[in-house]
Amino acid sequence: MKSVYIHIPFCSRICAYCDFCKVLHIDTFVDDYLEALKDEILNSYEGERIETIYIGGGTPSCLTKKERVKLFRILEIFKRSPDCEYTFECNPNDIDEYLLDDLCAGGVNRISIGVESFNEENLNILERDSNFKDLKNKIELIRNRGIDNINLDLMYAIPGEKLGVLKKDLNKLIKLQPTHISTYSLMIEDHTKLKIEGKEYISEDLDRKMYDTINKVLKSHGFKHYEVSNFALEGFESKHNMNYWSNGEYYGFGLGASGFKAGFRYTNTRNLHEYIAGNLRVENNLMSYKDQMDNEIMLGLRKLEGINVDDFFEKYNTNIQDVYPVKDLMRTKELIYHDGYLKIPEDKIYVMNEILVKLL
């Protein structure tokens, strides 16, 4: 058990595309929520030394100073390894000296910023607000606090977006000199404003061109493409997410959070009142041996390095090719074996889901 995810569902506004578990920030709800979060942690955490903590949302940075101080006091219960990766998600507009003082005092050493885009039309559609010059100044504030591990989120394939707009966004992101960039092709999810308004996807051909452009541009600037949607400078890969993709166990605390513990995958309620009342779990399923192997395949092949075949055998006492039609997909070059790893070739990562369907 290496990792802890903490969900803070509160937001100062609800973005048009967001399908995550979230509610508007209301002071009385936040205080009750943090008390319920403390109870969940005290009842579930078993004292392991933790290597990664990730505080996501929602918008954790919308918490007031008083609320942030209370949150970090609660999280002091975790025994952290000396090199624990401690991530906090931020909205660009929330970043100031007071927030950064509290994050540093709490032990945060990695900040993830939801930029999404700098293009005015894109931002209007997403109902976001990002300003390049302002963010550049805020990143300087972050670095002045000694935090050099900075992730920036980029969203693309936004309705009406052209390839030239994406290239401009990429160039601006690179100028900010992050150590990590996460990229997301927009999904128009049910119950979001974009879905209700009938917004439509861009063409699949354009989406593919955008994906290929992102890969080419970021790699030319020294970023390693190490997972389907993630790029990092050498040594700055997300340890927390790598644990997910390696099918490692982790705690998930908070509203709507999921976790994987002792062979059980669980999910918490998305109902705030139920969570505050202590009625946490809506799912708690013991994974069969085959389910765990399937997850190992689905998650592990997201990584560009793929799955270590010897590690798979050691974990499941089974040869991977005895369970899955690996050889068939190697013949069609949809899978390759190299230096002990089974992986999807980089030029086929875009159609990864089709390959996984064949494999599983």
Q: What is the DSSP letter of 61?
A: G
pLDDT for residue 17: 84
User: Six-digit token pair at 177?
Assistant: 């000199």
User: Six-digit token pair at 33?
Assistant: 């929520």
pLDDT for residue 16: 83
Residue 138: φ, ψ to 5°? -70, -35
Q: What is the pLDDT of residues 37-56, one digit of tens each?
A: 999 999 999 999 999 999 99
pLDDT for residue 269: 97
pLDDT for residue 293: 97
Q: Which three-class secondary structure state does DSSP give residue 70?
A: helix
- Does the pLDDT of residue 282 top 90, yes or no? yes
- Does the pLDDT of residue 279 top 90, yes or no? yes
Q: What mean pLDDT comes out for the span 101-120? A: 97
- Does the pLDDT of residue 64 top 90, yes or no? yes
Lowest mean pLDDT segment, chosen from 12-16, 111-115, 268-272: 12-16
Q: For residue 264, how many C-alpha atoms fall within 13 Å in the half-sphere facing its CB?
A: 12
pLDDT for residue 14: 82
Q: What mean pLDDT comes out for the span 103-110? A: 98
Amino acid at 185: S
pLDDT over 70 percentage in the chain: 100
User: Residue 122 — very low, low, confident or very high, per pLDDT cuts 50/70/90?
Assistant: very high
**Whole-model pTM over 0.85:** yes
pLDDT for residue 10: 95
1 vs 98: which has the higher pLDDT: 98
Distance separating alpha carbons of residues 173 and 163, to the nearest angstrom: 15
pLDDT for residue 11: 92
CATH fold group of domain 3-244 = pyruvate-formate lyase- activating enzyme (3.80.30)
CA max distance for the chain:
60
pLDDT for residue 18: 83
Please report, for the chain, the start and end positions of each structural domain, with discontinuous segments joined by +.
3-244, 308-360
pLDDT for residue 175: 98
- Does the pLDDT of residue 1 top 90, yes or no? no
- In terms of Cβ atoms closer than 10 Å to its own Cβ (0-12, 13-18, 19+), residue 98 is exposed
Cα torsion 182, 186, 191, 194 to 10°: value is 130
Average pLDDT, the chain: 96
pLDDT for residue 254: 98
- Does the pLDDT of residue 19 top 90, yes or no? no
Q: Which three-class secondary structure state does DSSP give residue 3?
A: strand
- Does the pLDDT of residue 74 top 90, yes or no? yes
Lowest mean pLDDT segment, chosen from 21-30, 73-82, 251-260, 280-289: 21-30
User: Residue 26 — very low, low, confident or very high, per pLDDT cuts 50/70/90?
Assistant: confident
Q: What mean pLDDT comes out for the span 99-115? A: 98
pLDDT for residue 309: 97
pLDDT for residue 115: 97
Sorted by sequence, the CB contacts under 8 Å of residue 338 that are 6+ apart come out as: none
pLDDT for residue 15: 86
User: Residue 248 — very low, low, confident or very high, per pLDDT cuts 50/70/90?
Assistant: very high
